[in-house]
Amino acid sequence: MTKLAIMGAMEEEIEPLLSYFDNINIVEYADNKYYEVKYKGLNIVIAYSKIGKVFASLTASTMIQKFSCDTLLFSGVAGAINPNLHIGDLIIANKLCQHDLDITAFGHKNGYVPGGKIFVETSEELRQIAKKVAVQNSLKVIEGTIATGDQFVHSSERKDFIQNIFNADALEMEGASVAVVCDALNIPFFILRAISDSADMDAGFDFDEFLQMSAKNSADYIMKIVEELIK
């Protein structure tokens, strides 16, 4: 690894990461900002993509092809499908799919298009490092399948559909598109999500407050993974 990309979907998801660094070079490109930093000799590019698959694909592709990043870490929030996942839990994706990709009318399975595949697997090596760091820091992190789509899913019917078709554990709006880009360009990648909503949600739940807290916790975890990568 010579240059690391760290991505989030929203500005709030990368703000705590940026606080780790003093000398930040901001590059404006393709209607976005890319933050170049150096940490213990490692060059890192940090960016938030904006929400959704198109923006996430554009940002991941830019980080790899324009900024020459050769490893990518993604951190953000997700909704739970697996009933064993609760607000604040951390999940790392072992594979990802696009739950809204549907050409079943042509006889294909949900999530599949010719020339593509339903599931894209993340880097086994990065997952092992992340699990090692979790154990060292007494963090509860589960591994599972994450489903991505360009819609905020809030109906139980749709969640049941995604669980039944893809056996997914969590839902979000960027991960699988980042996975497709990294897989096509042969870039090892890792997707971390903090659960922001689940079946047992408290009615008084404050998403903005949670986002701030989870972004801080995720940033701390990501930086510990970076430390391990530098070793």
The residues assigned a catalytic role are: 13, 197
For the chain, the C-alpha Rg in angstroms (whole number) is: 17
Which tokens sit at 154? 């809030």
Q: How far is CA 107 from CA 39, 101, 103, in A?
A: 49, 13, 7
Q: 3-state class of 191 per DSSP?
A: strand
CA gap 57, 177 in Å, rounded: 6
- The candidate with the shortest Cα–Cα distance to 9, out of 177, 203, 187, is 177
Strands 141-148 and 90-98: parallel
CA gap 98, 107 in Å, rounded: 17
| Residue 14 CB neighbour total at 10 angstroms | 25
